[in-house]
Amino acid sequence: MPSVIWMRPVRGRRGPEPSRDRDAIARAAIAVADREGLAAVSMRRIAAEIGTSASSLYRYVARKDDLLNLMVDAALGAGELQPSGDWRMDLQQIGHAMRAVFKAHPWLTTALAGRPTLGPNRLRALEAMLTLLAPSGLPLAEQLALIDVLTSYVRGFVASELASDAAIRQSGLSAAQWHADQAAYTAAIRASGVYPLTSALFDELQRTGAADQDAGFAAGLDIVLEGIAARWAVVRHGKPT
């Protein structure tokens, strides 16, 4: 039996028809993770959610890891791209769409860590981005590098955005208590006098609300796109690396 879940047949050739399907399982697990965090996703819990038992769930996924793979690929499948012909605008749009997906499923960045999930949805997205970058004439491996730069940036940025929420949920403290502890910590950092720039940064971040985190994201995205454009131009104009 193959270890990649998408290589395993969805049902055997004999015996009763399975009463659930992978999509329903993924949806249930995603709903739980969205509502209560990734830690709430246990085999027993998801099984109960779809009205069956843990051991029955193992008829659909070989290991819990496969359940997470299903969740990740299903969550990643939301985006659909309408190519406009302008690669930079398209990449920008993809970046914003990815950010929206990651923010809609706060557990996704964590679940993706160390998991090279390559399900049908992610394959579709990869193919679409390669199609977008094809006119660059760059070697495919380098196109992949460009895509990696973009997706890594988005994931990293959203991870920072969600970090406090995640930490709060994980710590089990009240949000107020957590923020108080955090404020005490930054106060101690400032008081140490060893980190003047970092302290100033804390001040600035506190002064400007989280409202312009959108602007920050867009600015970072522009940096990335600028780098990609530069690389693209190198090939187009024959300039050396």
Partner DNA sequence: TAGCAACTGGGTACAATGTTCGCAATAGGG
Partner DNA sequence: CCCTATTGCGAACATTGTACCCAGTTGCTA
- Nearest distance, CB of residue 12 and DNA, angstroms: 2
- Token pair in block for residue 54: 């843990």
CB nearer to DNA: pick between 12 and 137: 12
Instruction: Tell me which residues in 16-55 interact with DNA (CB under 7 A).
Output: 16-20, 41-45, 52-55
Between CA 241 and CA 239 the distance in angstroms is 7
- Nearest distance, CB of residue 138 and DNA, angstroms: 40
Question: φ and ψ at 175, to 5 degrees?
Answer: -60, -40
Which residues, other chains included, contact 142 with Cβ-Cβ below 8 Å and sequence gap of 6+?
231
Q: Contacts for 39-45 with beta carbons within 8 Å, 24 or more apart?
A: 39/170, 41/67, 41/68, 41/71, 41/107, 43/67
Name the DSSP letter for residue 211: G
CB nearer to DNA: pick between 41 and 158: 41
Instruction: Tell me which residues in 48-107 interact with DNA (CB under 7 A).
Output: 52-56, 58-60, 63-65
Task: Give the number of residues in contact with DNA, rule: CB under 7 A.
Answer: 26
- Token pair in block for residue 2: 């193959």
Give burial (CB, 10 Å; 0-12/13-18/19+) of 173. middle
Establish if 164 lies at the interface with DNA (CB under 7 A).
no
Instruction: Tell me which residues in 64-83 interact with a second copy (CB under 8 A).
Output: 65
For 51: left if phi > 0, alpha if psi spans -120 to 50, otherwise beta; the answer is left
103 binding partner (options DNA, a second copy, none; Cβ < 5 to 8 Å by kind): none
Establish if 152 lies at the interface with a second copy (CB under 8 A).
yes
The CB-side HSE value for 235 (13 A sphere, CA atoms) comes to 13
Establish if 114 lies at the interface with DNA (CB under 7 A).
no
Instruction: Tell me which residues in 190-219 interact with a second copy (CB under 8 A).
Output: 194-198, 200-201, 204-205, 208, 216, 219
- Nearest distance, CB of residue 114 and DNA, angstroms: 15
**Binding interface with DNA (CB under 7 A):** 11-20, 41-45, 52-56, 58-60, 63-65
